[in-house]
């Protein structure tokens, strides 16, 4: 068995609309509607499916909860431009820039929180 890649993850949120606005307007994702009106966020060749807390699609994680995710997003940009965009958008940087190790090697990252307090790492390859 050989893994091809990561197709999607699921996050549980308080407000689907607020989450879509944040990921679309701040992080550059595209809103997607699929299967019976469900919502997702597409970025690159992956997507984030969105479950509203208390209304999760089955099957789901054993203990789904808003704010329980920690996601690293890789951008094809310069980190200072990402930082400038975050500051201009009124988004607080929790940590960084810091050097980290990503799946493909060295990355440089900043950390922010989404509206549900999920930790979002925004990274560029070094």
Catalytic residue among 56, 78, 108, 121: 121
Tell me if residue 126 falls in helix, strand or coil: coil
Could you tell me if 86 and 26 are in contact, meaning their C-beta atoms sit under 8 angstroms apart? yes
Q: Which two tokens stand for residue 96?
A: 């960084």
Other CB atoms within 10 Å distance of the CB of residue 85: 15
* Residue 72 CA neighbour count, 13 Å, CB half: 13
Could you confirm whether 121 is annotated as catalytic? Answer: yes
Enumerate the active-site residues.
121
């Amino acid at each position: 068995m050989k893994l091809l890649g990561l197709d999607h993850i699921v996050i549980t949120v308080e407000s689907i609309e607020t989450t879509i606005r944040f990921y679309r307007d701040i992080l550059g994702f595209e809103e997607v509607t699929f299967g019976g009106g469900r919502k997702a966020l597409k970025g690159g060749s992956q997507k984030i499916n969105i479950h509203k807390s208390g209304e999760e699609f089955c099957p789901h994680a054993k203990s789904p909860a808003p704010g329980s995710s920690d996601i690293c997003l890789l951008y094809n940009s310069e980190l200072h431009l990402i930082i400038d965009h975050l500051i201009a958008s009124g988004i607080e940087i929790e940590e960084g820039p810091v050097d980290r190790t990503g799946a493909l090697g060295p990355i440089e990252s900043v950390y922010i929180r989404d509206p549900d307090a999920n930790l979002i790492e925004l990274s560029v390859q070094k």
